[in-house]
Amino acid sequence: MLPILTHEAIASDSSCLRQAYAEQGGFIIPQLLPVAEIDQVLQTITETAGLLGDCSATDASLSLAQQASRCVQAVHAQREGGQGLIYEAISQTPLMHHIASHSAIMNVVRSILSSHVVLHQRLLVLMSLPEDGWHLGRWHQDYYYNGGPETTCTVYIPLQKVNQRNGGLLLAPGRHREGMFDHDVRQYDVPTKWNTIDPEIVATFDPLQQIELEAGDGLFFHSMLPHAAQMNHTPDVRFVINLRYRDLLDKSYREAGWKIPELTAARQALARKSLTSAT
């Protein structure tokens, strides 16, 4: 299982970070980002949604996460593809650049990779709508979608509690050591646009780890670690910061001039509107 590494454990011996990353494929650090930073992201989501549509009826007695959720859902109902527009705008905000370069994250990333890292250009806040399966990243490896060095680290920081009910990740600890699994169109319980790992291989992922985190906790995982988002069965949007850090000192990446090859199949999968359309 991916271990929980407290600030105290890391301060006394930071080699536990590298060891967990190599052996289990990642780790969890509770209370990684300060609440004030999480609140700022939620407020920015609410404000940005409000620029696109009307969400003025939001109730001030709700938590900031619930207010952001109501606002995103209201705008999504008013304007086709509204959630996607908010998602794109948030991923390019100065605030997300600030979050992505926060010392709480950078110190950990530098410990497991090197002091020379770059970010995937899209600084995501995933916004998973209730009962939406089409956009769900079922069983996959981030390497298939992002390329770059295999050691690339995804940092996953929820803006509210995540657990099985709202679709928190399922992971296959240790299975990053087997390299890339084949990804293709596959049926899980509901259709997804994502190309995914063969369910017969997924059936061999044992034990699985259900991620349960509080807002601001950080999950760090290897780009080869198989994982699956699950359906959000709550009335609220699931918000998760999702950042990818690449090591400029990685040998093959450096030899390739830090270029990422065309990821045509992955790109086409994420762009498709249905499983029967050409793309």
Ligand X SMILES: O=C(O)CCC(=O)C(=O)O
Q: Which residues bind ligand X (CB under 6 A)?
A: 126, 128, 137, 142, 169, 227, 229, 240, 242
CB nearer to ligand X: give 86 or 126.
126
To 10 degrees, what angle do helices 64-78 and 82-90 make?
130
CB nearer to ligand X: give 128 or 152.
128
Question: What residues contact 51, with CB distance under 8 A and at least 6 apart?
Answer: none
CB nearer to ligand X: give 50 or 174.
174
Q: Taking the complex as a whole, how short is the minimal distance between the CB of residue 135 and ligand X, in angstroms?
A: 8
CB nearer to ligand X: give 44 or 141.
141
Give per-residue burial for 221-251: e unless 16+ CB within 10 Å, then b. Answer: bbbbbbbbbbbbebebbbbbbbbbbbbeebe
Report the phi/psi class of residue 179: left, alpha or beta, with left for phi > 0 and alpha for psi in -120 to 50. left
Q: Taking the complex as a whole, how short is the minimal distance between the CB of residue 126 and ligand X, in angstroms?
A: 5
Q: Taking the complex as a whole, how short is the minimal distance between the CB of residue 166 and ligand X, in angstroms?
A: 9
Q: Taking the complex as a whole, how short is the minimal distance between the CB of residue 196 and ligand X, in angstroms?
A: 11
**Cα gap 273→265, rounded to integer Å:** 14
CB nearer to ligand X: give 58 or 163.
163
Q: Taking the complex as a whole, how short is the minimal distance between the CB of residue 151 and ligand X, in angstroms?
A: 16
Which residues make beta-bridge pairs with 184? 196
Residue nearest to ligand X (CB): 229
